[in-house]
Amino acid sequence: MSVYRYRQISIIGHNSDLNIGYRYRPQNSISDINKRLSLPADIRLPDDYLEKFSVIGPALLEQPISRRLRRVSLSEIGFGKLETYIKLDKLGEGTYATVYKGCSKLTENLVALKEIRLEHEEGAPCTAIREVSLLKDLKHANIVTLHDIIHTQKSLTLVFEYLDKDLKQYLDDCGNTIHIHNVKLFLFQLLRGLSYCHRRKVLHRDLKPQNLLINERGELKLADFGLARAKSIPTKTYSNEVVTLWYRPPDILLGSTDYSTHIDMGVGCIFYEMVTGRPLFPGSTVEEELHFIFKLLGTPTEKSWPGVSSNKDFVTFNFPQYRAERLIKHTPRLSTEGVELLSAFLQFEGKKRKSAEEAMKHSYFSDLGNRVMSLPDSKFKRRPRRPSLVCRRFSLKRKLRGRQPGATQVSPTRRMECVRLSR
């Protein structure tokens, strides 16, 4: 019987500590070869490749590996090929793409297959090109992982890690009532992923519950970077036709195209939705959306929002003069610290909104402990023997109070499953 050992390395060229399986061969330094090929986690190398590798292996170790040689090696293993993945179920369909639940023959792990249809004349949509280019460089425990890319004449297939559901589905399954401690855990993970993006000058520009994925361990990850942009790319202005209407900031609604990371701070709307089970500003038009915002937060003036009175759209809409309501009346489940943080997210001016990095240090998260602030960004990095936990022995089953319908449950084999921010 073949003897297998394991080492951990990432897929897209960043050496790390993920596990791969290989057949033990004393004549070669297999660990060095694995590092050079940067193979993905938990892979089972095909027998025919192992036989061929026993011949070419020494040469691979004796000379620098070129990009071409690495691409050829990965292709021989099975990467970049449709036959490596088995389609199981259809998860959803959009204008440009269809998403399937699938399984990798190399790892036997579940994956999500995003199949993008290619038009003969137009080629790949710009959203797909952006998503691929950005996700190749974003490696974080709270950002969905891109495993593989398959290009054929008719389609471009992106292979992602599989997560059980999105935040909207989670809310629906819980009867729109998430335990308040779970709200805090999800919000912190959202801020971790967002802070990582912003430090790397990446704007997501489409944050909403449907683009936040959750697995059975309670890990939340940012997904769908089709509208994302790298802030470092020189440009005079950006489009204001971004961010789903319900989560779009008021300055963007009023036509601003000169924005930065504050455009992603629709986090406040998502925070409110997790707490209350309903959207904060469910407008169907830009005018109605602004109407909902001003009715709750008060109609802005030159004092509260300098320059707003000279905005053409604001003047045209001629909103009534609403007085601001107290947020605590709308969020009775939130603590004083939680209401304070929500208010900091819902500021009119982008520069006044609390950033993701600042929000993570807010007193609202103090009961999670100091350890969560020092967790490694990426699950691909070396980690301690004992996984970092959000809290000491936080059990989803115990905290979800009465087994909320459809909520994440603890598996029978792991009754004391803990919610990890970074495994």
Q: Which position among 206, 224, 251, 264 bears the catalytic label?
A: 206
Tell me if 397 is assigned to a ligand binding site. Answer: no
For residue 46, report the phi and psi dihedrals to the nearest 5 degrees. Answer: -60, 145
Q: Cα separations (Å) of 167 from 95, 138, 187, 218, 326?
A: 22, 21, 11, 11, 27
Residues 225, 131: contact at Cβ < 8 Å? yes
Does the annotation mark 89 as catalytic? Answer: no
Binding-site sequence positions: 114
Q: Which residues are catalytic?
A: 206
- Residue positions forming the annotated binding site for ATP: 114
